[in-house]
């Protein structure tokens, strides 16, 4: 997600710093963005000149200090509240401008809890992109109880006018709009597979060919990442205590086994030989 969001910013002509503390992950981010930009050219979405211009707007760094002069920082680390809190707290101390905005790309963690870990809760909000960020037009904007209305208005105008995204607003509730509706559907499909009601390929085929969905729920869960689906489900269950939000045992076992979906090569469907 971080690579995709960085690409969106660079393609909008914005000087963009991509920061990843791990050198291997930073190299992977560069490779993902490069591959995505070349694919966009191959598919006729952008011209070769646009690809070169976007690449010229990208800077890669392995130290958060490289973000000190930024006006907007989008945090897109793992969907873990403790990790996100640590990163946002560190960024708060680094950013030089008092009116710099910290945005979190969390899928489900309440923004208020993340914002109060900083000294600028009025300038912290949720800016939730969807995968793949360069292609999907939607962004959820989430104000916490502390977010200043003017800050939210400024970021919404930026997301629509500069990034060209369709923005919807949500109250600060776990899952926001999309995942509060989507994740129970995905969990229901996982429970159906777990119970042996139907095979994964048949569950997916049913929703694709019977309901005209572009992708079946288990394929979609694999694309999102089963660890991310589980993390969102836990956040939803913690917030609402509704059984339909609880991660099914099969999902938890697959995550423990490292079967995370497309990114690991295997989930409910295989994505590489063996």
Q: What is the pLDDT of residue 108?
A: 86
Q: Which residues carry out catalysis?
A: 107, 128, 140, 179
User: 18 vs 59, 86, 107, 158, 195, CA distance in Å?
Assistant: 6, 18, 20, 19, 43
Q: What is the pLDDT of residue 71?
A: 97
Q: What is the pLDDT of residue 189?
A: 98
Q: What is the pLDDT of residue 86?
A: 96
Q: What is the pLDDT of residue 131?
A: 86
Q: What is the pLDDT of residue 220?
A: 96
Q: What is the pLDDT of residue 273?
A: 62
pTM for this one?
0.88
Measured CA angle at 159 (ends 88, 67), to 5 deg: 35
Label each residue of the chain as H, E or C.
CHHHHHHHHHHCCCCEEEECCCHHHHHHHHHHHHHHHHHHHHCCCCCHHHHHHHHHCEEEECCHHHHCCCCEEEECCCCCHHHHHHHHHHHHHHCCCCCCEEEECCCCCCHHHHHCCCCCHHHEEEEEECCCCCCCCEEEEEECCCCCHHHHHHHHHHHHHCCCCEEEEECCCCCCCHHHHHHHHHHHHHHHHHCCCCCHHHHHHHHHHHHCCCCCHHHHHHHHCHHHHHHHHHHHHHHHCCHHHCCCHHHHHHHHCCCCEHHHCECCCECCCC
Q: What is the pLDDT of residue 272?
A: 77
Below-50 pLDDT ranges, the chain: none
């Amino acid at each position: 997600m971080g690579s995709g969001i960085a690409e969106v910013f660079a393609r909008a002509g914005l000087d963009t710093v991509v920061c990843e503390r791990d050198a291997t992950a930073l190299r992977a981010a560069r490779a993902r963005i490069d591959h995505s930009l070349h694919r966009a050219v191959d598919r006729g979405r952008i011209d070769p000149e646009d690809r070169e211009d976007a690449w010229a707007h990208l800077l890669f760094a392995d130290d958060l200090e490289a973000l000190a002069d930024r006006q907007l920082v989008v945090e897109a680390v793992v969907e873990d509240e403790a990790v996100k809190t640590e990163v946002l707290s560190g960024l708060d101390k680094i950013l030089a401008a008092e009116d710099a905005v910290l945005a979190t790309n969390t899928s489900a963690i309440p923004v208020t809890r993340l914002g109060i870990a900083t000294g600028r809760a009025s300038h912290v909000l949720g800016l939730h992109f969807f995968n793949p960020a360069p292609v999907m037009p939607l962004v959820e904007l989430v104000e916490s109880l502390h977010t200043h209305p003017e800050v939210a208005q400024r970021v919404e105008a930026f997301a629509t006018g500069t990034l060209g995204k369709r923005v919807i607003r949500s109250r600060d509730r776990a899952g926001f709009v999309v995942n509060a509706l989507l994740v129970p559907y995905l969990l229901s499909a996982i429970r159906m597979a777990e119970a042996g009601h139907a095979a994964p390929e048949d569950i997916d085929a049913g929703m694709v060919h019977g309901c005209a969905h572009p992708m079946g729920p288990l394929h979609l869960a694999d694309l999102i990442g089963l660890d991310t689906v589980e993390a969102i489900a836990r956040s939803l269950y913690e917030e609402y205590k509704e059984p339909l939000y609880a991660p099914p045992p099969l999902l938890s076992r697959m995550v423990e086994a490292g079967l995370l979906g497309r990114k690991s090569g295997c989930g409910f469907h295989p994505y590489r030989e063996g």
